[in-house]
Amino acid sequence: MGLLSVTSYSLVECIVGAGAFIWYAYHWMSGYWFSAIEGVHQKYGTVVRIAPNELSFCSTQSLKDIYSHPLSSEWAFLKSSFYDRPFGVASVATTRDPHDHRQQRQSLASGFSTKALREQEDIVHYYVDLFIQQIGNLSKTQSYGVDICEALNWVTFDIIGDLTFGESFDAVKTAKTHHWVSTIVDSQFWGSIIPLSRRVVVVYLLLPFLAFSNLARNFKIHQGLTRAKLANRIAKADKITRADFLQQVIQSRKFSIEALEGQAGTLIVAGSETTATTSVAALYFLAKNPVCLAALQHEVRTTFTSADAITGHSTATLPHLNAVIEESLRLFPPVAIGLPRISPGANVDGHFIPAGVIVSTDNWTLMHDPKYWHDPHAFRPERWIGEGFGDTKGASQPFSLGVRACLGINLAYLEMRVVLAKIIWHYDLQLIDGDRDLLRESTLFGFWKKPPIHMKFNGRENSALGVPDVL
Ligand code: HEM
């Protein structure tokens, strides 16, 4: 086993354990945790001790052992205190209690069903079409083009805002990030101190001085806006007939306002930054890899005769498009860390892990492990087509597995397919600052903090823009 064994403690181990705290805290807050943990796995093997009571794994077996559906509830690896937040009510993503989680997930299920997704698709197209027109306009008027890291947040937050609150943030229309969204994005650094404080006692004690005022202020702004938007949404509940995320939850009248706020806040964050990050990565990697871009252009531009034909269904079987998305999810996973769970006292990848020890499988490392992937740090979408390079594709699980797997997976795939296919159908891509390096310049604080990536979207002659005339 790696850094230290967990089964026996000696004085030496305690001292080295304290060192592990410092090592962990330093790398966690540096923004380069993904690279540090990949390095120690390469050096010490598939299991390493990253804090006194915590192990990181990187094998497909550990993924199955920790996250897949347990044989019975007593064998479940439950979420750890990493997920606890100092403010607000626990939501479907943060609650640790399995009974509470089941109830919350069931109450949201109808908003994520296949039928709901069909009803929601028109909303997705509406904002994507506006977005297509907006990036084309900005590409003509701004010499530096469009910062795709910012612009893709406009469209994903507008879609999720509409599906959660019945109204968007008007970000695509105004080509501006709503200040509520900026607050969420800006608070990432401070937000990542909370999980750290659960692992490092000193940080917990310093929390009030370090981050509390900043987090508390952001939380208040966030809560005030969520509350106002929620009040509007509840007032419209009788008029809204479509299956959005909150319709059934509001109508069931089982949830307090605070619980609804927690749910809405979680859905907005979980559903937008993630899809935006993958779409950014896909556009960036395509612009850097002309052969892959040409293959995708050929596929999209010969399959469809008009942009109206691009739908969630018609794009579901396009090999290149789906391969580009899978490869972007693997190479630049939106959820790149290991998701901590508490061992019930069970085997993980052949090691018996005593009850109470925290374990995770590190997503980034697994998705870049040469044991599973040929040329792991390269963008090679063809690995997802047919036999590819014989990679172990199960080593990429960007949406996680089991009972706590992503609730929005189908919506996420639909959104990413439609956004990418419509961009490729309408525009040729031009990276403005070719020296920018998305992978080297991004830092990880829960979500990725990405550098600006400026791109121009130059219209193809035959792409009549079928977009609503509301800009
Ligand atoms: C590329 C896009 C996305 C990726 C990679 C992604 C990934 C994930 C992952 C890895 C988890 C598990 C987190 C954990 O165990 O701590 C998760 C949970 C979740 N995701 Fe997503 N997600 C994406 C898009 C979405 C969308 C569009 C929604 C819709 C609102 C969404 C809603 C949720 C919710 C509600 C949970 C909590 C599920 C539970 O605990 O039962 N996600 N997601």
Residue of 243 and 139 predicted with greater confidence: 139
Instruction: Give residue 446's pLDDT.
Output: 82
Query: Ligand 1 centroid to 416 CA: how many Å?
Result: 14
pLDDT of residue 239: 80
138-170 pLDDT tens trace: 999 999 999 999 999 999 999 999 999 999 999
Closest CA to 210 of 226, 194, 222: 194
Write the CB contacts of 151 (distance below 8 Å, at least 6 apart in sequence).
131, 134, 135, 138, 175
Residue 352 three-state SS = strand
| pLDDT above 70 as % of the chain | 86
Indicate the pLDDT class of residue 463, thresholds 50, 70 and 90: low
Ligand 1 centroid – CA 269 distance (Å): 9
Q: Which of 62, 108, 41 is nearest to 369 (CA)?
A: 41
13 pLDDT exceeds 60? no
Q: How far is CA 55 from CA 7, 41, 172, 343, 356, in A?
A: 12, 11, 43, 10, 11
Ligand 1, atom 30: nearest CA belongs to which residue? Answer: 271
Task: Summarize pLDDT for 265-279 with one digit per residue, the tens.
Answer: 889 989 999 999 999
User: Would you state the pLDDT for residue 26?
Assistant: 85
Q: What is the CB-side half-sphere exposure of residue 276 using CA atoms within 13 A?
A: 28
pLDDT value for 211: 53
Atom of ligand 1 nearest to the CA of 334: 5
User: Looking at per-residue confidence, does 185 or 420 come out higher?
Assistant: 420
Higher per-residue confidence, 235 vs 284: 284
Delimit the domains of the chain by residue range.
Answer: 1-67+336-397, 88-332+402-459
Residue 314's φ and ψ, nearest 5 degrees, are -70, -15
Q: How many residues comprise the chain?
A: 471
Q: Tell me, what's the pLDDT at 182?
A: 75
Q: 334: Cβ below 6 Å to ligand 1?
A: yes
Mean pLDDT across 3-19: 52
Question: Smallest Cα–Cα separation from 467: which of 243, 313, 307, 236?
Answer: 307
Q: Which of 406, 410, 447 is the pocket-test mutation for ligand 1 (most atoms within 8 Å of CB)?
A: 406
User: CB-based contacts of 155: which residues, under 8 Å, 6+ apart?
Assistant: 127, 128, 130, 131, 171, 172, 276, 419
Q: Which amino acid is at 155?
A: V
Round to whole Å and give the CA distance between 389 and 68: 26
Residues 49-101: pLDDT tens digits? 998 899 999 999 999 999 999 888 888 999 998 888 777 788 999 999 999 99
Ligand 1 atom at minimum distance from 400 CA: 10
111 lines ligand 1 (CB under 6 A): no
Other beta carbons within 10 Å of 378: 12
Please, which residues bridge with residue 342 across strands?
78, 358
Residues 6+ apart with CB under 8 A from 96: 78, 79, 80, 81, 83, 84, 90
Residue, of 201 and 24, whose pLDDT is higher: 24
339 CB within 6 A, ligand 1: yes
User: Cα torsion at 379, 385, 387, 393 (round to 10°)?
Assistant: 60
C-beta separation of 219 from 87 below 8 A: yes
What's the average model confidence in pLDDT over 158-183? 90
Residue 189 has pLDDT above 60, yes or no: yes
Task: State yes or no: pLDDT of 212 exceeds 60.
Answer: no
pLDDT computed for residue 85 by the predictor: 77
ipTM: 0.99
Q: CA–CA separation, 161 vs 58, rounded Å? A: 35
Decide whether any atom of ligand 1 lies within 6 Å of the 407 Cβ.
yes
Q: What is the pLDDT of residue 185?
A: 67
The CA 399 to ligand 1 mean position distance, Å, reads 6
Q: Per the CATH hierarchy, to which homologous superfamily does domain 88-332+402-459 belong? A: Cytochrome P450 (1.10.630.10)
Annotated binding residues for heme, written as ranges, equal 406
